[in-house]
Structure 1
Amino acid sequence: MSQNKLQGKLPTEFASWSKLYMLNLGTNNFTGSIPPSIGNISSLRCIYLNLNNFAGGIPLEVAYHAKLEILSLAANNLSGIVPIPLYNISSLSNVSLVQNELEGTLPADLGFTLPKLQEFDCLQNRFSGSIPPSLANASNLVIIDIAENKFTGPIPNNLGSLPNLQVLSLGINTLGENMRPNDWSFLNSLVNCTHLKTLSLHESSLRGELPNSIVNFSATMEELHLYRNHIYGAIPREIGKLKNFRVLTLYENLLNGTIPKSIGELSKLGVLDLSDNNISGVIPTSISNTSKLLFLNLENNMLQGSMPHLFNISTLQELYLANNRIQGLIPDEIVFFARCINLDLSKNLFTGSLSSNIGSLKQLVQLDVSYNKLTGDIPTALSGCVMLEELRMQENLFQGKIPSSFKALKSLRILDLSRSNLSESIPRFFVEFHLIEFLNLSHNKLGGEVPREGLFSNVSAFSVVENSELCGGVQALHFPACPLKGSRNKKNAFSLRIILILVPVSLGILSACLALICYLRQKSKKLNDPVPVFRDNQYLKLSYQDLLLATNEFSPINMLGEGRYGSVYKGFLESMEQIIAVKVLNVEVRGASKSFLAECEMLRNIRHRNLIKTITACSSTDFKGNEFKALVFEFMTNGSVEDWLHPNPSYQENERNLTLLQRLNISIDVAQGVDYLHHHSHAGIIHGDIKPSNVLLDEEFVARIGDFGLARFAFATTSDLSQAQMSSAGVRGTVGYVPPEYGMCGKISAEGDVYSYGIFLLEMFSGKRPIESSILVDNDNNLHDHVRKALPLRVMDIVDP
């Protein structure tokens, strides 16, 4: 009956259960004491009462079970002394008393009275006294875990005679107090344990020089914990012999010497912690060969030289190199730490600028580069680290302004940019940072007005001292009031002059605009083929160089996706302080230029809440004289619907799912966008390729239809019928989406989009790709009979999309 939610006290009537072999009530919510009547079940072999809330002592009657093999009382609130007769049940093989408040000593003859013992766990109790050497007599022992008690030394030097021993955990005791400083004979004996995997002697007051004998441990050795002792000497040079090492923790000791080059031979190493010692020299480049390393901590030593190129360690999640003497540049290869969560390079001698590649660490939560000699501007690419909670950059030589791109870092709890040479004003977007606990901008050259809202209303949440040009802010800052630009009278007089000038000018401009509009309308009627270009006065002018800088030279790191005619990149426009999406056409692909012109023509004629907003277009040449065409859109924070329905493996861990309400709202948004294109744009437009990857989601999950490369104007008049039929000769859209009316109706009609939207609905609400059946959404009820006869489709009527 384990792993339920049973509660209350155990029944006392056990006498009638005379044939019970095993009692398993573990992982419940039982309370009270263990009833002594449990001793009446003479047939009992296994007792599992672990992970409950039992209190009181272990009843003596438990020892009445002469044939008991397994006793598990772990994780309760048991107290008192373990009944001595319990240690005389010779059939016991597993004893688990972990996480209680039991006390007393272990019998000196424990290993003789429990000869069949395989596992003995009394972790996290209050046992005291010495470890009985007789444990070596229980030759079947596999696990000995007596950590976190009050045992004293010395450690028996005969434990190496246990041939099956795999785990020996003795940490967090005071084992070294009664030992001679260099008495490591017990460690030497463990070389004979050919199955040993884990040895834990942490926080045990051990003293003396680290013996070289540890390199002679069995090849099965996986974990060695010797941290928080008083061990000195150097790490053995042949540490690489332990090929199966996964965890090596030696931190907070007195170790000196250098990090052995053979450390790179530990190919399975996942955790290496040598922090808080006196280790010197350089970090060996061979450490890059530990390709499965997750955690590397070398902080608080005397390491020097440059930071090694750790680009082979793509698994690294936490890297701590703080408080050493490492110098030179922070390598650009930092981009390979794609899974890094915590990165601490503080209190070193790093110079140069901070690489913009830092923005590729999308999962970064804590970044600390404080107390170095970094120069240049703070990279705007840091805005890519949207999960950042702590960013510490104080005590450097940064200059320029606080990047406006920082407004994307809304998860920040701590931001410290103090003691640098930052100038200009305090960005107002900090007011919207609701999670921030402390913002430190002190000791810079900032000027202008200090905001009063948000975090700036609480003086304990920020510091801006020693910025002599600041003014305003809350009264507690005692800053001078910000100067007015002129007296009220002068301001009123100036305003009157402006009004007198602007009114006639505005009337003149309005008249001119009306005349121009009339002229353009008359001219547009005469033109049969309008030129597909953007109006100069409506769209921003951007050059190839502007887009090159915005996307970090079209870096693969910034690529959002790739399609038939080109690729889409994420960028940041400094001039607009805006994140953008840049669709760069591959002009060498057949049809790409035609697709570009089609998108220009469509996007210049449409504007709707559920259609992607175009910022501008660029038709130019690159620096090599090659043709360059690109479209610039607003950036959609939540990607495409395709990303949510069928996420990449990198997103699987994040459990990205759309709720039913979100799916419904997205479907309605798409329907409204398609309805606008068909019926409310100045000329009916057929998108021709509605699908999840072409539906983008903004920050509030409002859906926007994008990719108009296959869109066409609908031909409403009979004079255009021949052209319409010609356009339908080739089926357009994505392979797998073939509207049947192209074959049955012989002309292009809005049903092409309606059918694609039906398939989009099926994907949205099932979360699966359509294979044998799809949904046709038909507003006019004129295709049902044809479809039912021709195709194995299910039909859904939607009167109002």
Structure 2
Amino acid sequence: MTCTRCHLFLIPTAATTLSNVLLLITSISLISFCFFIPSNAAATTNATETDLLALLSFKSLILSDPTGALSSWNTSLHHCRWPGVSCGRRHPDRVTGLALDSFQLDGQISPSLGNLTFLQNLSLSDNRLSGNIPEELGRLSRLQYLHLGYNSLHGSIPSALGNNCSNLQFLSLVSNNLEGTIPSSLGQCRNLWLLGLENNLLTGGIPSELGNLQQLDQLYLSFNSLTGTIPPTLGNLTNLKFFDLYSNRFTGSIPDSLGQLKSLRIFQIIDNQISGTIPRSLYNLSNLRMFDLSNNYLQGFLPPYICDSFQTLGALLIYGNQFQGQIPSSLSNCTTLNTIDVSFNNFTGTIPSSLGSLQQLQLLQLSYNQLEAKTSTDWSFIHALINCTNFQYLIAANNQLQGVIPSSLANITSLNTLILSGNPISGSIPAEFGMLTNLTDLELDRTLLSGKIPIEIGNLWNLKGLIMSNNMLSGEIPSTFGNLTKLTELILNNNAFEGRIPPSLEIGKLNNLVQIDLSYNDLSGQIPITIDGCQLLQILQLEGELPEEGVFKNATAVDVKGNPKLCGGLPDYHLPKCISDSPAHNHHSESIKIILVCIGCGFLCISIIMCLIAGCYWRRSQKDPQGIMAMTWEYKKVSYNDLLKATNSFSVANLIGSGSFGVVYKASMSLGSANTVAVKVLNLGQHGAFRSFLSECEALRNVRHRNLIKILSVCSSIDHRGNDFKALIFEFMPNGSLETWLHPNAHNDQPFTALTLLQMMNVAIDIAKALDYLHDHKPVPIIHCDIKPSNVLLDDNMTAHVGDFGLARFLVRSDTVPAQSITITSGIKGSIGYIPPEYGMGGQPSTQGDVYSYGILLLEMFTGISPTDVRFGDGSSLHKHVETAFPTRVMDIIDANLFPSDQETENTFVQENSRECLVSVIQCGLLCSKELSKERIAMSDVVKELNSARNKLLK
């Protein structure tokens, strides 16, 4: 037997000196020791080899190692010295830690890691790992820290993780694609202090056994599809500080037992279906810093004792519920409050002036309630807010605030955003507003304001957005507006302004200005050629020669109807010719005296406004010691260079489609669970492209459904030429758009393959479910506005995903305010052939408009006939063509490609099932595409009808 630790001493020696004698004695002693414990030495050697083999097995399943993290993992170097590997002190050859975070490793986790029996720390987060989480990891009885978050792992959470976890303290599987339920066995991990499972695809309920985790400090279950009620046993988690159930499908009421969570700092159940009232016990959580119950079905009153125990509360967020009654003046007792958002509820009464005692208050969001202000006393809260030295956001749109805006509001010099839109405010705009030099956004649209705009508004040199449309303002536009050099958006349409546009509003002077709307006033003047930076000109009272350069090269981008004094321009405008010696011709290059609408706006400005109005979606940050969430929407950052590399310099070979606002490339890059993505590059020179980018971002960040396209990241950067560059990165859909499956000539370079009847039914139901989800979205329904075959994409399982939200709109509903759409897109409302009749007559976008577009799409899918087919003219349409054949001749108009070539050999029973199914489908399509919107059915009913039709096919 060889002693591996002692063989260096077995060297022949003469032993002629004392030192040699001593060396020999020492050698003999060590030899004796080695032979005295031969079995232990062998066991240690075998265990060391086991660890080595486990690590090599892990490396063998890594398909890509772009940073070279594992390049030195070989036997020329002891495995305890390999990067990412750490070994113990008492057992120096045994692996106790494997940490390879953020190395872009692509591959799977080897089950052999379960053989690292001394492992205490396993951290592989922020890589590109896929596959399942090995059950064998449940054997790691010494494991204390397990972090596999931010990968592309799928499958279920192994129940074995909870069977042998007495030492486990940290378990994070966040941001993967894990499915199934939360294992109840995790309730055995009694030493666990963090459980992070957010941003997965988990279903089912919260196991009541999690109430056994009495050491738990943080519980994160947000962004899943969890259902059921909140277990009362969670009230046993008395050490819990962070409780996050954001964006699931929980129902029922909030258990009283949660009032026992005395250590709780963050309580967040936003965006669920929780009902009932707030239990009184929750108001006793004295350490609470964020109380976020937004976007649920909660009701009742805020009690006067609301702040009796809240000693550290920083944010009270209850928007998007059904609360009623008055806002209690006792909120002033929550002295640490910096954010209050009670918008989209049913609060009445006046705004309490006691809020002015909240010296840390920064944001007060009160929009879409029934709050009143009839007298100067009712407006006293304005004067009180002067005491809030850090106050920045006052947003009270769509209430019942009346009377005159107090001039004392100008004394809130820290104010950043003032939005009082949609209130019956009267009187004039106080000249004192010119003192609000920190103001970046001022919105006073849809009120009863009259008189002139004070010239002092020109002092607001930080202003980015100025919106005063739909009022009774008059006089001339102040020349001092030329001082607003940071202005990106100027909306003054539908007033009574007169005279000419001041030269100070030239595009050349207001370099940041990208949207001006002064339409529907009494303004006049000529159009100079210096407006090439604009993309859209709406109905105005302008005169002179229309330029033929810049934006005016495209007649579809400019609307100049209603301007009888205009002449010239391209033939497509159908304007009279200009007289050569007219003053308009001679002064063709005069400085800007126009009114124009330039689509697009500063991304930062609009994103702040939309976040505040639609409800501030606060995001958890573990590094925030105060527990106050930042209002951000974060994805893994993607740079312009990343996209340049992934698309091979935007090669034509990778081009997979184009649309109104840009082109789409196939790209090889890993984001989330995808290794191949689709990159939509915006053509910012096209009118509406910038706003389309913003609209798509705003819509997609608020939705989550298996039949909606998933956005993976965004890129807002500068290209190599110094130009603005914006792109959206989506999941890649290998089966392309529905367009290519409906019409043989959609792509001439590809062979045509038709869907079967059952496949087409599945696709139709998928689209219907997506629209039903959007129309019922809480708290604000979403209107897609552009349903057509090219905007429906099919994944590798032929599941349909609705995409392209570039024209999407938010629909605000209230008991006191009529339904109205909120949008950050241009006036375009769909695609030819799919636009509902009411849109063409100036009607506002609605969910019923989407229903019409879907109905036309449904008829197209099952007849194979496009609504823009050349046969439809002189009053004919796809709807009328199908209606004439319904129901007796339905099979005559059905696309023959839906049936296999040997359809005639099938038995009569199968044929009858198919006919019954198709009759129901066609009837549904006709009901959806009725000319009158009130006669159309809702998407929820469409889903039921199509499911019933599919059952007829399968019976």
The two structures have a TM-score, normalised by structure 2, of: 0.48
Paired position in structure 2 for 1:426: 527
The one-letter amino acid paired with 1:378 is I
Give CA deviations for 1:250-273 in whole Å, capped at 9, x if unaligned: 111111111111121111112211
Of the three residues 185, 207, 216, the one matched with 1:85 is: 185
Contact 2:182 2:206 in 1 (8 A): no
Which has the greater radius of gyration? 1
Contact 1:148 1:172 in 2 (8 A): yes
C-alpha separation in 1, matches of 2:440 and 2:110: 50
The total of aligned residue pairs comes to 476
Q: 1:358-377 maps to which residues of 2 (within 5 A)?
A: 358-377=457-476
Paired position in structure 1 for 2:555: 459
Q: 1:32-181 maps to which residues of 2 (within 5 A)?
A: 32-63=131-162, 64-111=164-211, 113-176=212-275, 179=276
Q: CA deviation at 1:370?
A: 0.9
For the structure 1 residues 205 and 321, does the alpha-carbon distance in structure 2 shift closer, same or farther, using more than 3 Å as the test? same
For the structure 1 residues 460 and 240, does the alpha-carbon distance in structure 2 shift closer, same or farther, using more than 3 Å as the test? farther
Contact 1:402 1:427 in 2 (8 A): no
Q: CA deviation at 1:222?
A: 1.1
Paired position in structure 1 for 2:83: none
Paired position in structure 2 for 1:216: 308
Paired position in structure 2 for 1:240: 332
Paired position in structure 1 for 2:113: 14
The one-letter amino acid paired with 1:56 is G
Of the three residues 260, 264, 273, the one matched with 2:365 is: 273
1:252 lines up with 2:344 in the alignment: yes
Of the three residues 371, 390, 395, the one matched with 1:292 is: 390
Q: Which runs of 5+ in 2 are unaligned?
A: 1-99, 587-721, 723-955
Of the three residues 290, 301, 317, the one matched with 1:225 is: 317
SS of residue in 2 equivalent to 1:287: helix
Contact 1:110 1:132 in 2 (8 A): no
Q: CA deviation at 1:148?
A: 1.1
C-alpha separation in 1, matches of 2:132 and 2:436: 52
Q: CA deviation at 1:79?
A: 1.1
Contact 2:121 2:144 in 1 (8 A): yes
Q: CA deviation at 1:217?
A: 4.2
Paired position in structure 1 for 2:126: 27
Q: CA deviation at 1:409?
A: 2.6
SS of residue in 2 equivalent to 1:383: helix
C-alpha separation in 2, matches of 1:211 and 1:28: 48
The one-letter amino acid paired with 1:254 is N
1:417 lines up with 2:518 in the alignment: yes
C-alpha separation in 2, matches of 1:379 and 1:460: 32
Q: 1:615-626 maps to which residues of 2 (within 5 A)?
A: none
Contact 2:334 2:358 in 1 (8 A): yes
Paired position in structure 2 for 1:311: 410
For the structure 1 residues 410 and 324, does the alpha-carbon distance in structure 2 shift closer, same or farther, using more than 3 Å as the test? same
Paired position in structure 1 for 2:491: 392
Give CA deviations for 1:586-610 in whole Å, capped at 9, x if unaligned: xxxxxxxxxxxxxxxxxxxxxxxxx
C-alpha separation in 1, matches of 2:412 and 2:372: 23
C-alpha separation in 1, matches of 2:468 and 2:411: 22
C-alpha separation in 1, matches of 2:476 and 2:528: 16
1:204 lines up with 2:296 in the alignment: yes
Q: CA deviation at 1:128?
A: 1.0
SS of residue in 2 equivalent to 1:19: coil
Contact 1:128 1:151 in 2 (8 A): yes
Of the three residues 570, 581, 593, the one matched with 1:485 is: 581
Contact 1:414 1:439 in 2 (8 A): no
Paired position in structure 2 for 1:698: none
For the structure 1 residues 466 and 288, does the alpha-carbon distance in structure 2 shift closer, same or farther, using more than 3 Å as the test? farther
Paired position in structure 2 for 1:330: 429
Contact 1:99 1:122 in 2 (8 A): yes
Contact 2:118 2:142 in 1 (8 A): yes
Give CA deviations for 1:173-218 in whole Å, capped at 9, x if unaligned: 1111xx3xxx44x1x2122211111111111111233333323341
Q: CA deviation at 1:16?
A: 4.8
SS of residue in 1 equivalent to 2:422: coil
Deviates most, 459-468 or 322-331: 459-468
The one-letter amino acid paired with 2:257 is N
Q: CA deviation at 1:99?
A: 0.6
For the structure 1 residues 87 and 439, does the alpha-carbon distance in structure 2 shift closer, same or farther, using more than 3 Å as the test? farther
The one-letter amino acid paired with 2:240 is L
Moved over 6 A (4+): none
C-alpha separation in 1, matches of 2:412 and 2:127: 43
Q: 1:348-359 maps to which residues of 2 (within 5 A)?
A: 348-359=447-458
Q: CA RMSD in A?
A: 2.4
C-alpha separation in 2, matches of 1:273 and 1:50: 35
C-alpha separation in 2, matches of 1:21 and 1:307: 64
The one-letter amino acid paired with 2:317 is H
For the structure 1 residues 326 and 288, does the alpha-carbon distance in structure 2 shift closer, same or farther, using more than 3 Å as the test? farther
SS of residue in 2 equivalent to 1:136: helix
For the structure 1 residues 355 and 272, does the alpha-carbon distance in structure 2 shift closer, same or farther, using more than 3 Å as the test? same
Contact 1:289 1:312 in 2 (8 A): no
C-alpha separation in 1, matches of 2:171 and 2:411: 47
Contact 2:221 2:246 in 1 (8 A): yes
Q: CA deviation at 1:227?
A: 0.7
Contact 2:283 2:307 in 1 (8 A): no
SS of residue in 2 equivalent to 1:85: helix
Paired position in structure 2 for 1:696: none
Give CA deviations for 1:643-702 in whole Å, capped at 9, x if unaligned: xxxxxxxxxxxxxxxxxx9xxxxxxxxxxxxxxxxxxxxxxxxxxxxxxxxxxxxxxxxx
For the structure 1 residues 209 and 437, does the alpha-carbon distance in structure 2 shift closer, same or farther, using more than 3 Å as the test? farther
C-alpha separation in 2, matches of 1:342 and 1:54: 43
C-alpha separation in 1, matches of 2:580 and 2:111: 85
The one-letter amino acid paired with 1:453 is E
C-alpha separation in 1, matches of 2:512 and 2:554: 19
For the structure 1 residues 330 and 460, does the alpha-carbon distance in structure 2 shift closer, same or farther, using more than 3 Å as the test? farther
Q: CA deviation at 1:109?
A: 4.3
SS of residue in 1 equivalent to 2:228: strand
Q: CA deviation at 1:278?
A: 1.0
Q: 1:652-663 maps to which residues of 2 (within 5 A)?
A: none
SS of residue in 1 equivalent to 2:131: coil
C-alpha separation in 1, matches of 2:388 and 2:456: 23
The one-letter amino acid paired with 1:276 is Y
The one-letter amino acid paired with 1:409 is L
Give CA deviations for 1:143-162 in whole Å, capped at 9, x if unaligned: 21112111111211122222
Give CA deviations for 1:470-519 in whole Å, capped at 9, x if unaligned: 22233333222222339xxxx9xxxxxxxxxxxxxxxxxxxxxxxxxxxx
C-alpha separation in 1, matches of 2:257 and 2:359: 32
For the structure 1 residues 360 and 161, does the alpha-carbon distance in structure 2 shift closer, same or farther, using more than 3 Å as the test? same
SS of residue in 2 equivalent to 1:395: coil
For the structure 1 residues 340 and 89, does the alpha-carbon distance in structure 2 shift closer, same or farther, using more than 3 Å as the test? same
The one-letter amino acid paired with 2:369 is N
1:439 lines up with 2:537 in the alignment: yes
Contact 1:143 1:167 in 2 (8 A): yes
Q: CA deviation at 1:56?
A: 1.7
C-alpha separation in 2, matches of 1:242 and 1:460: 55
For the structure 1 residues 428 and 354, does the alpha-carbon distance in structure 2 shift closer, same or farther, using more than 3 Å as the test? farther
SS of residue in 1 equivalent to 2:496: coil
C-alpha separation in 1, matches of 2:514 and 2:486: 11
SS of residue in 2 equivalent to 1:152: coil
Paired position in structure 2 for 1:644: none
SS of residue in 2 equivalent to 1:100: coil
Give CA deviations for 1:741-793 in whole Å, capped at 9, x if unaligned: xxxxxxxxxxxxxxxxxxxxxxxxxxxxxxxxxxxxxxxxxxxxxxxxxxxxx
